[in-house]
Amino acid sequence: MHRGLCIPEIVYLIFSELRNLFPKPARDKTLAALAVTCRDFLNPALDTLWSEQTTLRHVVKCLPSHLWEQSVGSSPRDEGQFYLYWIRPLFYASRIQTLTLNCSDTRHDAFPDASVLEAIRAGLPHRYLCPNLRTLLWRSDEDAQLPFLNLFLSPNLESAAIIVFGVSPPVPLDLSILSVQKLNFHIPGNSSFECRSTSSLVLRLNRIEVLSVANLDRTALQHLSQLETLRSLELFNVDAEHIGCSSSVAPRRALFPALRTLKLGDVSYSGVNKILRMLPPSCELDSFTAGIQLHDPTMFSEVYTLLVDSLSHATLRMLDIGLRSPTAGFPLSFDSNRSLVTLFTFQNLQFLRVCSPVLLGLDDALAWDMARAWPDLTILSLSSPMGNASDLQDAPVLTFSGLRAFAIQCPCLTNLRIDVDASHVPADPLATDATTTSLESPLSVLDVASSPIGDPDTVASFVRQLFPPP
């Protein structure tokens, strides 16, 4: 055997590549065969084989079933023999670094019966079943499963996503969860209970870097705003009344000093306004996502102005805005003021997605202005309510000729979704633009939204010439 294969670091690198080369069944068979090939391959192969698990079934199979199949008149437990039962399962469980237990994934039978979990908790000679676990996804829908969550909250855990449905008792989280760097914690279905449980947990987080939660109270949100480690924050369904600093407590330093990514889901305009006003002028967000509820669809222009006033013009790379409003009683309309122009201030955008409650009023001239303002775009998605601009008198229409702007000005564009009139196609896509080059385009997705396509073959030919495939 080559001497290089006797160096564990090299063998681990080779086996990690094997994990990506084969589908799971073939990969597992290959790693299992390598584990029995020679002593030098044993630990690297087993570590790679067991590092990612989507079920506890394989660990449970290492235990004798009589541990949870108690019968009447069973003999007292032999503690010495009982400890020996755990040598083999812990030999493998200690190698698990990523564990996904998803109740909705019926393919993997993630959770054993409650009797099996109780036998594991009662007999486990150590505090944690997977002491070297780094990443955990726990998605359960039964109260009986929740008490066993602490078996996996080891001090080595770095990232945890805990989503629990139908929970009525308090969530008994091990204190080790407080050391995680990334946490996604949700208890859907009971907003008041979720707010209390989540806020109580958040108040004890002092080193968190990436956090996704819902229904925080004012005190918990204020605590997060003081953390110097928080880089990414995702909030859902936050009550606008809970946003902002308490009038009795003055901030000791700039709020959210390290925040770079902010995501807000199902938040009112008032709530978004309050959160963005908490950001200091020095905050250098590079990504902002928001699902904003508008009681009046005509408020969309106010949202654009708020973004320009609150977000960094120089550092913002990703802007994803979904504007939702009740449609009943509001006729279909279009933005006659070209409010998108307000966003041209963010000249370094690479990702822009806007879901508007009104037609955006796009035309060829505005397409050229957008392409010149955002030359670094890789993804552009502009969607409007169902309906065509042609349904409204005097509404502007973007034609295929306007797509030339993106072909010329946005060389990195890979995904384009835009309301465009696909019923008419110019004879020559490059006829009026001598500046167009013959370079290959990375564009892989072009979505014309709700526009009917008059002649699919002609449209395909036009797009292929305008955005030459590699």
Last residue within a domain, chosen from 50, 65, 84: 50
Does residue 32 contact residue 45 with C-beta atoms inside 8 Å?
A: yes
Query: What is residue 263's DSSP assignment?
Result: E
Query: Which tokens go with 124?
Result: 């486990």
Is 353 inside a domain boundary?
A: yes
Is 323 inside a domain boundary?
A: yes
Provide the 10 A C-beta neighbour count for residue 220. Answer: 22
Is 408 inside a domain boundary?
A: yes
Question: Could you list the residue range(s) of the whole structural domain that residue 365 is in?
Answer: 284-470
**Total residue count of the chain as it appears in this document:** 470
Is 188 inside a domain boundary?
A: no
Check the CA dihedral 31-32-35-38 and report its sign. negative
Is 369 inside a domain boundary?
A: yes
Is 162 inside a domain boundary?
A: no
Domain of 327, CATH number, reads 3.80.10
Is 274 inside a domain boundary?
A: no
Is 364 inside a domain boundary?
A: yes
The one-digit pLDDT tens for each residue of the chain (470 residues) are 677 777 878 888 887 887 777 777 788 888 888 888 888 888 888 998 999 999 999 999 998 877 766 533 444 455 556 678 889 999 999 999 999 999 877 766 788 888 888 888 888 888 999 999 999 999 988 877 888 899 999 999 999 999 888 666 556 677 778 889 999 998 887 677 778 888 988 999 999 999 999 888 889 999 999 999 999 999 988 777 767 655 444 455 678 999 999 999 988 899 999 999 888 888 899 999 999 988 887 788 899 999 999 999 999 999 999 988 776 555 566 676 688 999 999 999 999 999 988 878 888 999 999 999 999 999 999 987 655 555 555 567 888 889 999 999 999 999 999 988 887 788 766 555 545 555 678 999 998 877 778 788 888 888 888 898 88
Total domains, the chain: 2
Does residue 309 contact residue 301 with C-beta atoms inside 8 Å?
A: no
pTM of the model: 0.84
Last residue within a domain, chosen from 50, 66, 81: 50
CA 425/CA 237 separation, integer angstroms: 44
What are the beta bridge partners of residue 234?
212, 263
